[in-house]
C-alpha cells in the first residue's frame, strides 16, 4: 500500500518534470531537469527492488550524463531555437501514437505477476541454480557477468565505440592551444626565476 503511494507520487513528479522539460526553452534548465527526471527514475527502481538498475541510473543518468550535457551546452548554445508554431497534424500524430502505445500496454501482464512469461522463462533457473552454478550471493551480477556474458561484452564494446566515436569526431585539438596546467606554469616560473638569479641586473 505504502509502496503504491510512493510509486504514484514519483510518477506524478516524473510527469510534471517531463512536462516542464517539453515547455522550457532554456537548455541549462532542461539539462538540470533531465537529471532530476533520472533521479526520480532511480528512486522508482529502488521501490521496485531493482537496486542495481537504480544505482546505474543515478550514476549515469543523473550524474555523468548531466555533466556531459552541460559540456555540450558550453560548446553550443543556451537557448533552444523556436522555428515555427507546432502544426495541428503533428498533435494528431502524437496523440494517435500515444493512444496506440497505451492500447499496447493493455495486453501486458500486471507488474509482478508470477505467471507472466518474463517470470516463467529463465528467471526461475537463475534464482534456483545460480547459487550452485556461479556461487555469487548477488544474482544480478551472476546473470550480467556469467549467464549473459555475451551481452555485457557487447555493452562494453558499445561504450568503447562511443568514446572512440567522440575521439574521432572532436578528439583532435587544434595544435598547441591546450591550456597550460598549474604544474607546467610553475615549472615555467621556476625556470624564469632561475634565469633571473643567474643574470642579476
Partner 1 sequence: MMAQKTVLRVVTKLLVPIIVLYALYVQFHGDFGPGGGFQAGVIIASAFIVYGLIFGTADAREVLPSWVTRIMLSLGVMVYGGTGVVALLMGGEFLDYSFLAHDPLHGQHWGIFAVEFGVCLTVSGAMITIFFTFAGHVKEKFSGAEK
Rounded distance, CA 178 to CA 64, Å?
A: 23
* CB nearer to partner 1: pick between 9 and 162: 162
3-state SS, 57-108, equals HHHHHHHHHHHHHHHHHHHCCCECCCCCCCCHHHHHHHHHHHHHHHHHHHCC
Contacts of 51 (CB under 8 A, 6+ apart): 45
- Residue 180 DSSP class: P
Q: How many residues at the interface with partner 1, by CB under 8 A? A: 53
Site track 160-199 with partner 1 (rule: CB under 8 A), x = hit? x-xxx-xx--xx-x---xxxxxxxxx--------------
Quote the least distance from Cβ 196 to partner 1, whole Å: 23
Euclidean distance between CA atoms 52 and 57, whole angstroms:
9
* Binding piece for partner 1, criterion CB under 8 A, among 13-21, 28-36, 47-55, 120-128: 47-55
Quote the CA–CA distance of 95 and 90 in Å, as a whole number: 9
Own/partner long-range contacts of 146-152 (Cβ < 8 Å, ≥24 apart): 147/122
**Contact code string over 55-94 relative to partner 1, x by CB under 8 A:** xx--xx--xx--xx--xx-xx-------------------
Chosen residue from 15, 141, 191, 192 binding partner 1 by CB under 8 A: 141
Q: Which is nearer to partner 1, 59 or 94 (CB)?
A: 59
> Which residues form the interface with partner 1 (CB under 8 A)?
51-52, 54-56, 59-60, 63-64, 67-68, 71-72, 74-75, 133-138, 140-142, 144-146, 149-150, 152-153, 155-157, 159-160, 162-164, 166-167, 170-171, 173, 177-185
Amino acid at each position: 500500500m505504502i509502496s503504491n503511494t510512493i510509486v504514484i507520487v514519483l510518477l506524478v513528479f516524473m510527469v510534471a518534470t517531463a512536462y516542464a522539460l517539453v515547455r522550457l526553452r532554456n537548455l541549462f534548465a532542461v539539462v538540470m531537469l533531465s537529471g532530476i527526471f533520472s533521479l526520480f527514475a532511480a528512486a522508482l527502481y529502488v521501490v521496485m527492488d531493482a537496486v542495481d538498475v537504480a544505482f546505474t541510473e543515478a550514476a549515469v543518468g543523473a550524474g555523468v550524463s548531466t555533466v556531459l550535457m552541460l559540456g555540450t551546452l558550453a560548446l553550443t548554445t543556451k537557448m533552444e531555437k523556436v522555428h515555427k508554431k507546432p502544426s495541428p497534424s503533428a498533435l494528431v500524430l502524437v496523440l494517435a501514437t500515444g493512444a496506440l502505445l497505451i492500447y499496447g500496454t493493455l495486453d501486458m501482464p500486471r507488474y509482478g505477476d508470477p505467471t507472466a512469461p518474463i517470470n516463467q522463462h529463465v528467471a526461475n533457473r537463475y534464482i534456483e541454480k545460480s547459487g550452485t552454478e556461479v556461487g555469487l550471493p548477488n544474482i544480478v551480477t551472476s546473470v550480467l557477468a556469467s549467464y549473459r556474458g555475451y551481452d555485457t561484452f557487447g555493452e562494453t564494446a558499445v561504450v568503447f565505440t562511443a568514446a572512440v566515436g567522440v575521439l574521432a569526431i572532436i578528439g583532435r585539438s587544434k595544435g598547441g592551444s591546450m591550456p597550460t596546467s598549474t604544474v607546467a606554469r610553475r615549472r615555467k616560473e621556476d625556470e624564469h626565476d632561475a634565469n633571473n638569479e643567474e643574470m642579476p641586473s
